[in-house]
Structure 1
């Protein structure tokens, strides 16, 4: 029983509930060292699933915000500002970066767009003061357009 492996690697391990940051690094180190019996497996599993949900949520928010800004851009001349153009580009860059790392979500992007479209319409309606009925019932933008860093609706120019 004098083997080093018999002695816990961390004499005072971090508690998942108290310091998830320190806990995460400790769990990673335990896995690297092959000390599987010391790993807080239920919480590691929960955190891994949480990371997946977080990435999907980030991509969904980026699509939602992108579509809302594009709808605003089309609906009102006053929405064609540099600030909105920057927001459109920023959302597209986020989508590009995240989909590069999560190919399964890239493959399922059409479902994501369908699911966030009603929220995007609600945001665009709130920003423009128009009724939701003034916007198309289904997303008028295809994935190629949404992912194109340089595309703008009908190439409408900036107003400012």
Structure 2
């Protein structure tokens, strides 16, 4: 028999095989101050990614919000209560994230242009209105978009912005 045959199989890494179990084990090690046993490499990556997920969530919610604001503005005859509910929900959730992480307050403005482009695509897909018919320049500001009381008025016949 070779020495390799006598070695036990490698223990599976819980980080790779059961992420939830790994998180709970790391939390317990922190609680009991057993710092030397922490999986520092993966723990550092996970803590750093939490902030990234908050930023991504703001961006994703902003896309949905802007798409619904465009639908509201450019399809007044098709307005539904669900649209106002979605607009309110996206604004509320963004506000909650910003309240919990005040350092992210500038983030909606920094991703507004990219989110608006995606919101145009979403509105086009959901309404059947050609993408190019939605204005390239947002017809509302980031402040208006996030304002709980703001709903865009429909465009004038002469003003298609």
Q: TM-score range by the shorter chain?
A: 0.7 to 0.9
1:6 alignment partner in structure 2: none
**Could you list the runs of 5+ residues in structure 1 that have no partner in the other structure?**
1-11
**How far apart in 1 are the matches of 2:97 and 2:137?**
24
Query: What RMSD, in angstroms, separates the aligned Cα atoms of the two structures?
Result: 2.1
Give matches, 1:118-157, under 5 Å.
118-154=117-153
Q: Report the alpha carbon displacement of residue 147 of structure 1 after superposing the two structures with TM.
A: 1.7
Residue 9 of structure 1: aligned partner: none
CA contact (8 A) 1:13 1:26 kept: no
Question: Which whole-Å CA distance do the structure 2 matches of 1:13 and 1:128 have between them?
Answer: 49
Task: Write the distance in 2 (CA, Å) between the matches of 1:15 and 1:26.
Answer: 9
Write the distance in 2 (CA, Å) between the matches of 1:79 and 1:39. Answer: 55
CA offsets 1:124-156 (integer angstroms, 9 cap, x no match) = 111121112111212222122122112111289
For the pair shown, the structure with the greater C-alpha radius of gyration is: 2
Alignment TM-score, normalising by the size of structure 1 = 0.82
Count of residue correspondences: 145
Query: 1:89–1:155: structure 2 CA closer, same or farther, 3 Å change rule?
Result: farther
TM-score, L = length of structure 2: 0.81
Correspondence for 1:64: 63
1:121·1:135 contact (CA, 8 Å) conserved in 2?
Answer: yes
